[in-house]
Amino acid sequence: MLNSNILITGASGYIGSCAYFFLKEKYKLHVVDKNKNHYFKVNQCDLLNKDKLNNLLSRLKLKLIIHLAAQSLVDETINKKKYYKNNVLATKNLIELIKKNSINNIYPTHLKIDIDGQEFGALKGAENNLKGSVLKEIFVEIINEDCLKVTDYIKSFGFKIVWHNKKTQNQEFIFKR
């Protein structure tokens, strides 16, 4: 087993648990989720709880964090405050505490953006990541009236559309470079 310590957030979710089972034989894993898991031991920690999260990050000597914690259900988007807290604020807490605990080399390789009308602002906030070469793929759902502005902006960083799905109120795109 390699001695690389890896933290997986959102480990009780579908993608998080798949990542756990795929990596568990090769790496020393630390898994965290706000929910319990019946298949493997999880450090229960809500990423909104900065004190508990800081305690966890400060005692682990992590080489990599795979951040998969998010609320992705459609019904969560109806409660925008809860969706914002569990996706945006939780991720901001994690990034802040990664920096505080001197965990280096933060490189997102994929982005998913779906913030009903706020996609362009989210992309502007991620401009340094868009400029870098590590980011490989972006999935974005765009309301129709912002579509051209957002897609042109993403393309200006060398991304190409590889998949497109047009719906009544919005459009979905996957960009790759």
**Measured on CA atoms in the order 55, 59, 64, 69, is the torsion positive or negative?**
negative
**Terminal Cα-to-Cα distance of the chain (whole angstroms):** 33
Instruction: Say what the pLDDT of residue 74 is.
Output: 53
pLDDT tens sequence for the chain (177 residues): 566 789 999 999 888 898 899 999 989 999 999 998 888 999 999 999 999 999 999 998 888 888 888 776 655 556 778 878 887 888 889 988 988 988 876 667 777 777 777 888 888 878 888 888 888 888 888 888 889 999 999 999 999 999 998 887 888 898 999
Amino acid at 134: V
Instruction: Say what the pLDDT of residue 1 is.
Output: 52
**Residue 72 tokens, joined:** 């992705």
Task: In whole angstroms, give the CA distance from residue 62 to residue 118.
Answer: 33
Instruction: Say what the pLDDT of residue 167 is.
Output: 81
Task: In whole angstroms, give the CA distance from residue 66 to residue 60.
Answer: 14
**Which domains are seen in the chain, by residue range?**
1-106 (3.40.50.720), 108-177 (3.40.50.150)
Task: In whole angstroms, give the CA distance from residue 129 to residue 111.
Answer: 10
**Residue 57 tokens, joined:** 């990050």
